[in-house]
Amino acid sequence: MMALLSFGQTVRDALDLAMSMDDRVFVAGEGVGVSIHYDPNMPTHGLLEKYGPKRVKDTPVSEAAIAGLAVGASTMGLRPVVEIMFFPFITLATDMLVNHAAKLRYLSGGKSSFPLTVRVKAGVNFSAGCQHSHNLEAWLAHSPGLKVVFPSTPADAKGLLLNAIFDPNPVIVIEELMLYWMNGEVPEGDYRIPFGEARIITPGQDCTVVSYGGAIYTAMEAAKDLSEEGVSLEVVDLRSLVPLDKTAILESVRKTGRLVVLHDATKFAGFGAEIAAIVAEEAFDALKAPVRRVAAPDIPVPLSPPLEKFYRPSPEMVVEAVRSIVRMG
Amino acid sequence: MDSHKLPVSLKKTMYEKMVLIRTFEEKLVELSQQEKRVPGMQILANGQEAAAVGIIEALRPDDVIVTNHRSHGHLLAKGAEPRYLMAEIMGKATGVNRGKSGTLHMAVPEVNALMTTTVVGAGAPLAVGAAFAQQYRNESNVTVVFFGDGAAAEGSVHEAMNLAALWKLPIIFVCENNCWAGAQGLHEHCSIGNIARRAVAYGMPGESVDGNDVEKLYTLASKMVARCRDAEGPALIEAKTYRMRGHGEQDHQHYVDKKELQRWSQLCPVKRLKDKMLSDSLVTQAELQAIDSEMEAKINDAVKFADESPYPLPDEALENLWVAVKGGR
């Protein structure tokens, strides 16, 4: 059975289901119970009314304590799902996540485990400036011990979040704020998507575009435009960055012979560099042209609408990048 | 209970544990002066044994402790086996954390020493998470977090205390004020001479205590733990003590006033309890000597065990990061 839900409602659906299935699951964060936004598309809307203040915890503005709460409670056997309001604020929780959630199991020699989920609101196109918009997935992916997932559709948001909550390891789930209002068909019930399984969104022959999160829609628009000039793109949605579905990336590149990597985060030392390097190391022989990266310029996210629009990679930039390598051979 | 009315058996137990810790750490002083015996810097708590023993003796086995870089005393007091700690300190495969931790961040989940961190102040939010789980499950267990006067300057400690007091979590914050944060004396890094007074700011009880008087520590801890078990919320204990050695064994304390060191050596907690028990005619010299010899034998056995244990194989470095998930991702 499928239901038509918004991305935000889907996240709530997953949280609701996890809480109803398992008493160990609780939700905590700033405004997860009572929010300044009274909007049924916000992911924790209505959870407090349903589960009460024991399991839906509004916290002080204390990101380190929120993340510490998750780390400590998880090793005691609970299944915390905590929220960091905006991606740049995760810097305040980074010690707990990078030095503790990610490392304490390793430090224990495999004796302890930390089954926690951190949901973080991300994205670059809601006029809030660089201290509310800054996609830091590369930082997290660069910290061994953390799983990092980045859903692009309502169905993936549900499947990946439920899989995160019941994964025995720490998982960061990155949710793009501007996708919360997007509707999609979502499987009902306990629907989980295993990590490390990329999805081919549109099969194609001429060039692979690897992307994730909201940038997927940029890639799809580019694919549509290019199809009109007879160029077919294969759009690969990674869905999880750690673990990474290398097989899907390499198989696609072996088929098309060309690769464009696309993300809304900045280019230098971004996650796209890892994809490009993997393909260079493991599928160099299949490449007919150089790899191209389409990413944000290496600046903080500006607030003024025309500046922010300039910052975010556009379908036209993807089209240009593809054209430049398709022409080469 | 007044400290002078403590049962003799308890006093003997506390003496035995303090001697165990002292002997263990004196052995580490010896080993760290030998070439390649113990990797890294040994961070010792000689002279601070009373806080570890007095506080932990007031706990039950199910209660949780979170400790820090100066952890050996806490772990031994909680019941960790000297053999496996010594092997870990030497980096051996039989170590309590299979060599992944070494001396610095040993966690011993078997005795509910669940999390140990060397990030100064980070233990406090971790402990909040553990205490939250105890409250969430309506347990009567408590969590104790040990940190130093240096850690009291960390923002994470403030966040943790605020949240713990707000939610009335069953947690005891134990600040072992040993007068030194690295090479900076208390008056150079702390805005207030008496750290316990900070408890007022969070609306929880805070008391300073002679940190070298194990009986007073036990008595105060028992009182605070009882409040916690009755769901009356957290407390702060400041154990005023002194760091008798350098920050670590490579630190030869060139910045320390030798007269001050001399003064504090007169206040040695092991000697004080010993003298008191003798003058109160609770034990005989022979009984105490028997305890001393028994503890020495235990530590010699630990060193022998660790010496005879193999190192881990190099590629064991790759193990223990993740909890395996079905399907391998």
Assigned token pair, B45: 């708590």
Asked if residue B163 has pLDDT above 60, the reply is: yes
Residue with tokens 């990336």: A249
Q: Any idea where the domains of chain A sit in the sequence?
A: 2-187, 199-326
Encode pLDDT of A302-327 as tens digits: 999 999 999 999 999 999 999 999 98
Q: Are A145 and B321 in contact (CB under 8 A)?
A: yes
Contact A108 B320 (CB under 8 A): yes
Asked if residue B44 has pLDDT above 80, the reply is: yes
Q: ∠A160-A162-A164 over CA atoms, to 5°? A: 65
Encode pLDDT of B278-321 as tens digits: 999 999 999 999 999 999 999 999 999 999 999 999 999 999 99
Encode pLDDT of A221-237 as tens digits: 999 999 999 999 999 99
Encode pLDDT of A26-47 as tens digits: 999 999 999 998 999 999 999 9
Confidence band of B248 (pLDDT split at 50, 70, 90)? very high
> What DSSP character marks residue B148?
E
Q: Where are the beta strands (DSSP E) in chain B?
A: 64-67, 113-116, 143-148, 171-177, 180-181, 184-185, 206-210, 235-240
Confidence band of A13 (pLDDT split at 50, 70, 90)? very high
CA A329 to CA B232: how far, in whole Å?
A: 74
Confidence band of B327 (pLDDT split at 50, 70, 90)? low
Structure confidence at residue A1 (pLDDT) = 85
Structure confidence at residue B2 (pLDDT) = 63
Assigned token pair, A178: 């501007």
Query: Which CATH code for domain A199-326?
Result: 3.40.50.920
Structure confidence at residue A129 (pLDDT) = 95
Neighbours of B79 (CB within 10 A): 14
Task: Kindly report the CATH number assigned to the domain that includes residue B163.
Answer: 3.40.50.970
Query: Is B151 in CB contact (< 8 Å) with chain A?
Result: no
Residue B326 lies in a domain: no
Catalytic positions of A, please? 132
CA B298 to CA B76: how far, in whole Å?
A: 12
Cis peptide, bond prior to residue A300, ω within 30 of zero: no
Structure confidence at residue A208 (pLDDT) = 98
Confidence band of A154 (pLDDT split at 50, 70, 90)? very high
Is A199-326 the same fold as A2-187?
A: yes
Measured CA to CA in angstroms, residue A167 lies from A116, A148, A195, B11 at distances of 8, 12, 9, 46
Asked if residue B1 has pLDDT above 60, the reply is: no
Q: Are B296 and B79 in contact (CB under 8 A)?
A: no
Contact B125 A72 (CB under 8 A): yes
Of B101, B122, B327, the CB nearest to A107: B101
Contacts of B63 in chain A (CB under 8 A): none
Residue B236 lies in a domain: yes
* H-run or E-run covering B304: helix B285-308
Of B117, B125, B320, the CB nearest to A110: B320
Structure confidence at residue B3 (pLDDT) = 59
Residue B325 lies in a domain: no
First-to-last alpha carbon distance for chain B, in angstroms, is 55
Measured CA to CA in angstroms, residue A200 lies from A215, A234, A249, A290 at distances of 14, 7, 10, 22
Which of A25, A76, A117, A163 is the best mutation test for B, with the most CBs of B within 10 A? A76
Query: Is A168 in CB contact (< 8 Å) with chain B?
Result: yes
> What DSSP character marks residue B108?
B
CA distance A58 to chain B (A): 11
Encode pLDDT of A127-143 as tens digits: 999 999 999 999 999 99
Mean pLDDT score of chain B: 96
| A274 exposure class (CB count in 10 Å sphere: 0-12, 13-18, 19+) | middle
Which residues constitute the domain of residue B197? 3-318
Confidence band of B189 (pLDDT split at 50, 70, 90)? very high
What interface predicted TM-score (ipTM) does this complex get?
Answer: 0.96
Which of A104, A107, A193 is the best mutation test for B, with the most CBs of B within 10 A? A107
> What DSSP character marks residue B107?
-
CA A28 to CA B295: how far, in whole Å?
A: 46
CA distance B130 to chain A (A): 4
Residue B197 lies in a domain: yes
Residues in chain B: 329
Mean pLDDT score of chain A: 97
Structure confidence at residue B329 (pLDDT) = 58
Residue B75 lies in a domain: yes
Query: Is A115 in CB contact (< 8 Å) with chain B?
Result: yes
Residue B328 lies in a domain: no
Structure confidence at residue B304 (pLDDT) = 98
Neighbours of A237 (CB within 10 A): 25
Residue B324 lies in a domain: no
Of A75, A144, A194, the CB nearest to B115: A75
User: Under CATH, which architecture does the A2-187 domain have?
Assistant: 3-Layer(aba) Sandwich (3.40)
State which amino acid sits at residue B56.
I
State which amino acid sits at residue A242.
V
User: Which is it for strands B184-185 and B180-181: parallel, antiparallel or unpaired?
Assistant: antiparallel
Q: What is the mean pLDDT of residues B249-259?
A: 94
Encode pLDDT of A46-92 as tens digits: 999 999 999 999 999 999 999 999 999 999 999 999 999 999 999 99
Neighbours of B60 (CB within 10 A): 11
Encode pLDDT of A161-211 as tens digits: 999 999 999 999 999 999 999 999 999 999 999 999 999 999 999 999 999
Give the total number of structural domains in chain B: 1
Which residues in chain A (202-241) have CB-CB distances under 8 A to chain B? none
Confidence band of B4 (pLDDT split at 50, 70, 90)? low
